[in-house]
DNA sequence: GATGAATGAGTTTTCATTCAT
DNA sequence: GATGAATGAAAACTCATTCAT
């Protein structure tokens, strides 16, 4: 049956991508050689070129896959909660700082790819895409909040809130990158909500934010 | 004359370090080969091993140098302004987002090294050092502000303010990394001050912050 | 039905051979990979081993086929003309220099195989066979002419005439290989006939030779 | 002393070129791998890329070198003889068919490169250059002869003679390629002179030509 | 019989390091 | 001390062949 073959093919492709991500997380991009990848995937040397046409394409695909996984994770969280703006924002902030998403592996991978983004168009593109998709989700939520809050220039306020929130989350990831073991998720969350509650006191609550887990 | 010799030695060391930084900024760490470095520095191949004992050490030194340059830049700014907490914070924020410090070259270098930090202890150490030194400056300033503001737990407030401010600045750097050409320094500054004014309304002023440039 | 099967088999074999010849003509022997061949033949990868037992055998077969095609072309021409020695020679010379036989594709293929002949016995053998068959035809024709011409040592004269004529034709092919676009068939033909008319003035005529086309 | 270093460098370059020619002669172009070359030259793997920037460039250089060697050989012969047209032609013909020039190694190399010429611009260029230089020498000699012979259209006659002579010599090389062991230099020479004496009876003599060796 | 995904030996290339000059 | 030619281990890639489906 052809389906069986196709299925193995697909599984092999995925194994290679995951081997790249594991290796990038553990050893970094520069140590992620073809030998390292096939050893982790337990597949043959030629397979990389068979499926991806070369190591660089495989690494690009891995960056795309990883960026998609991140976005899907966040998006899945949004489906589990209410549809108000503040529920969305809360979910995104908590999700982005949760163990499931903000962990050693993801952070390693993400900063490794970022470091290469300047010199590899494909990686820059996926880096950008992840960013743009998330930015959109966050902006839409803040736009609703700003409208409810009847602020002067709701569009501008929503933009600033988006910018500030994402900047802070980024900063928290960097904190985690540098000190994964002393990083305090509650503190990080609290600080983001401090910013949010200062911008939208009627929507966000500093104390409530502490009721994390 | 030994002094003359020593001087040339020192100049060559620096040329190599700067060649590394230029190359990392333009081509990324993985393309920064020994050949690339000596070509930029216009020095001989053996020089790297003579002065640094190998390429890896040179790159580590370049990371250290770059991190020092950053800190020195910020520190120099502080000497040009008043000594109140809010003056320090303002200077650090404006400085960190200024063209002199936040520019394509520095951002490229910084993210390239961050991407390697996980796998190279020396780079991680310098990354950390830069971070710790800055954190200290910022914390000291906020500690004074928090004391003046007579908040409940000034130490905790100062820590949160430090954490939040640095996180946001980090996030702004990432913004710049991804979209250097559409990045708006005024907007970035305004958003940081929005956070600061919400935490310390008596010390920071959202409008004042706009009087940039 | 076995006949039907057999027919498809035969067609596939031929498709592969022709794909090899096309590829050798266009890309050269070293670029004639299995992938290139099956892509041109629009057949599956396994087919080559099924029908020929490996790529090398297929290439050898292609060399044999090509050499046979050449000889058959010349031989067919001989059937269309009179049976005197000079008619045969004229036909062979004109045929060998005609567009139908001396064209870019054939020349490319022929020199490509020649270049490999030294290291591949099978190709050398077919190269030789083509040569020997043609030499035989030409010698037989010259033997008749030499006999008619009542020269001293007709056998020796026929051998020299054969040798010289074939050498010149070879040289004309090389000319064509190197400068296919500036090659002048009439000039080439005229020069061969100059040689022939000098050896057998009663049989070959320099002017008559110009009545080409 | 720098000269010593430079000298070794030059010797290594040459060793590599000669290793390529030996390998091409013995094993053919497709079997001439980097490993084969460095094994013959007894030099290190990296040297090929150090001196030539890659295997392909080295092979091209070898083709250029070989073509130059051929031309130099012929040219040197011309310096050892008189300056009349017929002396030049005689020398070129005898030289081109002599053991020193027409031998197994040269023929193997030459046909191997010819087979690749279609697909490698650099090789085609050197192939052409050798051809053009020789053609020039031969044409100049025939032009003088044709003028002396007071033929009708001396330019045209010289061109035909050049064309015919070179074509025949080419053909003789092919003969040698296919049957190096049964090849008879005297016979080959005699046949070329038969052509020459038929074109310029006053200048070339069939018998004289036999006084070879 | 036919297919084409998979294999891995062998190829070219890169590049940090060495060391004779 | 300084140079840069030389080294060779390790990298990425190619491709004829195999073989489960």
Q: Which of D108, D111, D195 sits opposite C164 (nearest CB)?
A: D195
Q: Which of B116, B131, B167 sits opposite A115 (nearest CB)?
A: B116
Question: Could you read off the pLDDT of A134-154 as tens digits, one per residue?
Answer: 899 999 999 999 999 999 899
- Looking at residue A213, what is its pLDDT? 39
- Residues in chain C with CB shorter than 8 Å from the CB of D31 are 119
Contact map slice: C 37-96 vs D, CB within 8 A = none
- Say yes or no: C205 contacts chain D, CB-CB below 8 A: no
- Chosen from D93, D171, D189, D207 to mutate, greatest number of chain C CBs within 10 A: D171
DSSP tag of A180 = T
The Cα A142–Cα A89 span in angstroms is 8
With a cut of 80, say whether residue D44 has pLDDT above it.
yes
Q: Outline where DSSP puts E strands in D1-76.
A: none
Three-state DSSP string of A48-85: HHHHHCCHHHHHHHHHHHHHHHHHHHHHHHHHCCCCCH
For residues D206 and A177, the model is more confident at A177
Domain boundaries, chain A: 2-210
Q: Which residues of chain C are modeled with pLDDT < 70?
A: 1-2, 207-213
Question: Could you read off the pLDDT of B6-56 as tens digits, one per residue?
Answer: 888 889 999 999 999 999 999 999 999 999 999 999 999 999 999 999 999
Check CB contact under 8 Å for D118 and C128: no
Question: Could you read off the pLDDT of C20-78 as tens digits, one per residue?
Answer: 999 999 999 999 999 999 999 999 999 999 999 999 999 999 999 999 999 899 889 88
* Phi, psi (deg, nearest 5) at residue D145: -65, -45
Dihedral angle of Cα C41, C44, C49, C51, to the nearest 10 degrees: -60
Which nucleotide has its C1' atom closest to residue D46's CA? F7
Asked if the Cβ of residue C105 lies within 7 A of any atom of strand E, the reply is: no
Structure tokens at A68: 């998609």
Contact present, A and B (at least 3 Cβ pairs less than 8 Å): yes
CA distance D78 to chain C (A): 23
Q: Alpha helices of chain A — where are they, by DSSP H?
A: 2-27, 34-41, 45-52, 55-79, 85-96, 104-117, 121-148, 154-178, 185-199, 206-210
- Looking at residue C20, what is its pLDDT? 97
Structure tokens at A30: 């520069």
Average pLDDT (D147-153) is 91
Check CB contact under 8 Å for A194 and B194: no
Within a 13 Å sphere around the CA of A41, how many CA atoms are in the beta-carbon half? 26
- Chosen from D55, D118, D201 to mutate, greatest number of chain C CBs within 10 A: D118
**Closest residue (Cα, C1') to F20:** A5
- Say yes or no: B122 contacts chain A, CB-CB below 8 A: no
CATH number attached to the domain at A2-210: 1.10.357.10
DSSP tag of C210 = G
Asked if the Cβ of residue B174 lies within 7 A of any atom of strand F, the reply is: no
Residue of B nearest to A195 (CA): B195
């Amino acid at each position: 049956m052809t389906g069986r073959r196709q299925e193995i093919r697909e599984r092999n492709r995925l194994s290679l991508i995951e081997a790249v991500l594991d290796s990038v997380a553990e050893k970094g991009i520069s140590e992620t050689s073809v030998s390292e990848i096939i050893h982790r995937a337990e597949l043959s040397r030629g397979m990389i070129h068979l499926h991806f046409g070369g190591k660089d394409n495989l690494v690009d695909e891995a960056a795309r896959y990883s960026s998609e996984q991140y976005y899907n994770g966040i998006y899945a969280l949004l489906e589990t909660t209410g549809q108000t703006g503040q529920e969305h924002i809360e979910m995104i902030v908590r999700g982005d700082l949760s163990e499931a998403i903000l962990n050693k592996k993801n952070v390693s991978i993400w900063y490794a790819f970022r470091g290469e983004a300047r010199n590899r168009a494909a990686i820059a593109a996926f880096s950008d895409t992840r960013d743009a998709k998330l930015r959109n989700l966050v902006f839409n939520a803040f736009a609703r909040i700003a409208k409810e809050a009847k602020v002067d220039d709701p569009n501008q306020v929503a933009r600033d809130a988006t910018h500030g929130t994402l900047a802070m989350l980024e900063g928290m990831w960097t904190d985690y990158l540098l000190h994964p073991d002393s990083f305090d998720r509650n503190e990080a969350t609290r600080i983001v909500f401090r910013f949010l509650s200062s911008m939208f006191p009627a929507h966000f609550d500093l104390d409530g934010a502490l009721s994390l887990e």
